[in-house]
Amino acid sequence: MRNIILFVIVFFLLSCSGTSSPEDVTKAQILEIIDAIEASFIFNDLPGIMENYHFGFLHNGDNYSLEEEVWEQRLNNYAEIDFSEINIEPVGDFATVYFIMTLYDNDGGSVVTQEPSDENGDVSYFYREYDGWKICGKEFSVP
């Protein structure tokens, strides 16, 4: 009986060890970036948003500077952003993030897109470098 109790205790402790797979760590790191973008948006912090972007960003022909203009327009036209139903698919040093993005204006209206989409998708593609994950765009090429 004592052995059974000891086995149950050891099994319970091992199952609660809190170890995470590399994929779980990747997903958590990318979710932190998505959360940081939402927080930066609330505070109208364009540099805070852009610090999550790779300088080699390229998406639908837009480079880093043009993407910065896209975010400036979003900040000027909308009061809040929300990312929901987030699904992250990592593959090596790249990841694609699927989600619903809702932009709310000051008049109570909203624009909802499922990402990645043909219109946007600029927040959906990530690349891992030595210093962490960055948004890179669909047309990004490894430096």
| Helix and strand numbers, DSSP H then E, in the chain | 4, 7
Q: What pTM value is reported for the model? A: 0.83
Q: Which domains does the chain have, with CATH numbers?
A: 21-135 (3.10.450.50)
Handedness of CA 84, 23, 28, 138 (dihedral sign): negative
Q: How do residues 67-93 score in pLDDT, each as one tens digit?
A: 999 999 999 999 999 999 999 999 999
Cβ pair 125, 116 in contact under 8 A: yes
Handedness of CA 96, 52, 40, 103 (dihedral sign): negative
CA–CA gap between residue 106 and residue 80 (Å, rounded): 9
Q: How do residues 12-71 score in pLDDT, each as one tens digit?
A: 444 455 667 888 999 999 999 999 999 999 999 999 999 999 999 999 999 999 999 999
